[in-house]
Structure 1
Amino acid sequence: MEITGLQALGALLTALIVCAALGPVMIPMLHKLKFGQSIRDEGPASHMKKSGTPTMGGIMMLCGLFVAMVVWNRFTPLIAIAFVLTFGHALIGFLDDYIKVVMKRNLGLTAKQKMALQIALALTYIYYVEQHVGPEGTALWIPGTSISIQMGWLYYVLVLFLLVGTTNAVNLTDGLDGLVSSVSIPVMLVYAVIAWQIGEGDLCLFALAVLGSCLGFLVWNRNPAKVFMGDTGSLALGGAVAALALLTHTEVLLVILGGVYVLETLSVIIQVAYFKHTGGKRVFRMTPIHHHFELGGWKETKVVTVFTLASCLFSLLAMGLWLMGKGGI
């Protein structure tokens, strides 16, 4: 699907404006419904002042994305899949948030419940590939080269790990005011360029609409945050990132492009493993790693700025590998 510059700019701006414009409506409504964030006791002490800040603001982002795609794009099969993965994970996040803020169970869904729902969505995508794409859809491109490896059934295992891993990694990154939205902006910009270059204009518009929603949400989520996206937003954002990686066949590239997400996740894995192995010792002051720097004396705004710059660098590296592999340079 070919797109024009007007469509691209329109999708981005529509998502931005709709998301930002919903703030004065949604935030008081969430306050009235007492959908306030509960802060974990084991988190940084400085975060206790955030208790009661409305959560589930991811609904604003989803509205921006949906309206932008309705106005500027026809719903192609690829967009349908991207929507299933994005809004499906948003529903999981909504259930998690609802249990936390309404039923007052601070941990939300159990790990097993959340994992089971995420696996169900991954299996839905696997079924789509098996039924509608066939063997050619199971090839894995090696970044920086022109080589693609036929993975066969192992590709479906990769899909399972990629979807579950990406959504949880993005969710872990959502821990400071404006962090996950800021980090995700360069990621979405790269995916918009990649989608445009491979002739998938619908996916380009989708990436730009997600980018616009992130920008619109930052109007209300930048420090000091007036609203949090909650798992409703962070799992949906993770679903969108994973969908773009799968539908543009850049699964391995995502490890580099989403470098900040990867580092956040690795910090938790290392901390837990080392803690168990040593009987209580820690590598980091606190994980995910953004809390390590925060407890080291960095202000939230500095952590967000540095992590966003890191995401920009990872994105530039990923774009360079894409161009090398596709003969652009």
Structure 2
Amino acid sequence: MRAILLGGGLSLLISLIGTRYAIVVLARRGYGQEIRDDGPTTHHTKRGTPTMGGLVIIFATVVAYFAAKLITLQMPSASAMLLLFLFVGLGTVGFLDDFIKISRQRSLGLRSRAKIIGQTVIAISFGILALWPGLVDDRGETPASHHLSFIRDFDSWALPTVLVVLLIWLIITGTSNAVNLTDGLDGLATGCCILVFAAYTLVNIWQNSQSCALSPGPTCYTVRDPLDLAVISAAITGACFGFLWWNASPAQIFMGDTGSLSLGGALAGLAILTRTEMLLIILGGLFVMETVSVMLQVGFFKATKGKRLFRIAPIHHHFEMLGWEEVTVVIRFWILTGLCVATGLGIFYAEWVAGIG
């Protein structure tokens, strides 16, 4: 538990101080955000705001995690190293996307095919390693599972390795892109991520206290390294908190794809490693809503030959076009995320209580 507190606290301090330094350095180098021309006109004033702030979130998380492990004299687990690989790997893809936007002075970075290839390489590598027989623990558990899961594995639904890796790829690319779509208003994605990562910190702590390794029984959890996953989840929560101080409206820095892709990947990784893939749909309900709004917009536009279902997608921009202030949209979407998180945690705990009964 000390490692969780240290990871979260150190990450918050590093991010809070480091983001202020990053703003100065990025502004001096002219690494400013380009704004899409078809978006709300109020966003044009944001052109030139320093971006790639996700580098600070990644740096703060990684340094805080290893510092916490060093201070508590604990060895990193296989699950934690895999999660950090996914977190940093997708952050690297996002960094390349951001750097191209800046160097070429345009609102589009990597071509969609190149971005998907980068996400695919990282996601497939993560999936293969997470199922690798050489990473089994004393109980024979690999970091990821061959079973579908909601709150725990569906034991009767074992899947072939190839299909599991494909599902892992789908979850990771879908979630990372969902957070990327949500990152369009000052503090929106950051605040939503804080709530969902905090939820996963609680989930991991509970799974550790009810682990089959500690207290075998019908309601125990077979997650391999829940306490170590909680350290990373707490560290990401703290890093996002520190970053939000500078990212809240009016934002002095944006996380860019560097931050959104890495955070989305980390959420997907936590869902996979904690056997809660379907629960993520509820906890991250706001990200699902943002993604579905884009899918509906594109589908409706093609089906009706040019008509639009929303004034603009993703849906947070639609509400801006209706006249809502940016801060109003952000706060209300934070509230929606809080409701999703409360619902997800309630279902998670209720399942455990029902198992006791």
Post-superposition shift, 1:149?
Answer: 4.3
Could you tell me how far apart the structure 1 residues matched to 2:260 and 2:30 are? Answer: 20
State whether residues 198 and 233 of structure 2, in contact with CA within 8 Å, keep that contact through their aligned partners in structure 1: yes
Counterpart in the other structure of 2:157: 150
Post-superposition shift, 1:8?
Answer: 2.3
State whether residues 147 and 153 of structure 2, in contact with CA within 8 Å, keep that contact through their aligned partners in structure 1: no
State whether residues 163 and 242 of structure 1, in contact with CA within 8 Å, keep that contact through their aligned partners in structure 2: yes
| TM alignment of 1:57-206, pairs within 5 A | 57-73=53-69, 74-132=75-133, 137-143=145-151, 147-153=154-160, 154-199=163-208, 200-206=226-232
Could you tell me how far apart the structure 2 residues matched to 1:17 and 1:129 are? Answer: 31
Post-superposition shift, 1:325?
Answer: 2.4
Which 5+ residue runs of structure 2 have no aligned equivalent?
70-74, 209-225
CA RMSD of aligned residues (A): 1.7
Counterpart in the other structure of 2:244: 218
Secondary structure of residue in 1 paired with 2:312: coil
Secondary structure of residue in 1 paired with 2:148: strand
Secondary structure of residue in 2 paired with 1:285: coil
The count of aligned residue pairs is 324
Could you tell me how far apart the structure 2 residues matched to 1:180 and 1:80 are? Answer: 25
Could you tell me how far apart the structure 1 residues matched to 2:256 and 2:315 are? Answer: 19
User: What amino acid is aligned across from residue 239 of structure 1 in structure 2?
Assistant: G
Could you tell me how far apart the structure 2 residues matched to 1:218 and 1:120 are? Answer: 30
Cα distance change on mapping 1:13 and 1:324 into 2, 3 Å:
same
Counterpart in the other structure of 1:246: 272
Report whether the alignment pairs 1:315 with 2:315: no
Counterpart in the other structure of 2:29: 33
Counterpart in the other structure of 1:295: 321
Post-superposition shift, 1:107?
Answer: 0.9
State whether residues 139 and 152 of structure 1, in contact with CA within 8 Å, keep that contact through their aligned partners in structure 2: yes
Instruction: Percent identity, please.
Output: 39
Post-superposition shift, 1:322?
Answer: 1.1
- Normalised to the residue count of structure 2, the TM-score between the two structures is 0.87
Secondary structure of residue in 2 paired with 1:150: strand
Post-superposition shift, 1:84?
Answer: 0.7
Cα distance change on mapping 1:241 and 1:272 into 2, 3 Å:
same
Could you tell me how far apart the structure 1 residues matched to 2:255 and 2:184 are? Answer: 10
Could you tell me how far apart the structure 2 residues matched to 1:129 and 1:208 are? Answer: 21
Report whether the alignment pairs 1:264 with 2:290: yes
Counterpart in the other structure of 1:209: 235
Could you tell me how far apart the structure 2 residues matched to 1:249 and 1:169 are? Answer: 20
User: What amino acid is aligned across from residue 61 of structure 2 in structure 1?
Assistant: L
User: What amino acid is aligned across from residue 85 of structure 1 in structure 2?
Assistant: L
State whether residues 44 and 295 of structure 1, in contact with CA within 8 Å, keep that contact through their aligned partners in structure 2: yes
Secondary structure of residue in 2 paired with 1:298: coil
Post-superposition shift, 1:26?
Answer: 1.1
Post-superposition shift, 1:105?
Answer: 4.1
Cα distance change on mapping 1:274 and 1:32 into 2, 3 Å:
same
User: What amino acid is aligned across from residue 159 of structure 2 in structure 1?
Assistant: G
User: What amino acid is aligned across from residue 100 of structure 1 in structure 2?
Assistant: K
State whether residues 98 and 257 of structure 2, in contact with CA within 8 Å, keep that contact through their aligned partners in structure 1: yes
User: What amino acid is aligned across from residue 72 of structure 1 in structure 2?
Assistant: A
| TM alignment of 1:12-51, pairs within 5 A | 12-51=8-47
State whether residues 19 and 61 of structure 1, in contact with CA within 8 Å, keep that contact through their aligned partners in structure 2: yes
Counterpart in the other structure of 1:236: 262
Could you tell me how far apart the structure 1 residues matched to 2:305 and 2:31 are? Answer: 38
Could you tell me how far apart the structure 2 residues matched to 1:169 and 1:306 are? Answer: 18
State whether residues 124 and 166 of structure 2, in contact with CA within 8 Å, keep that contact through their aligned partners in structure 1: no
Post-superposition shift, 1:126?
Answer: 2.0
Could you tell me how far apart the structure 2 residues matched to 1:82 and 1:126 are? Answer: 11
User: What amino acid is aligned across from residue 3 of structure 2 in structure 1?
Assistant: Q
Could you tell me how far apart the structure 1 residues matched to 2:166 and 2:255 are? Answer: 30
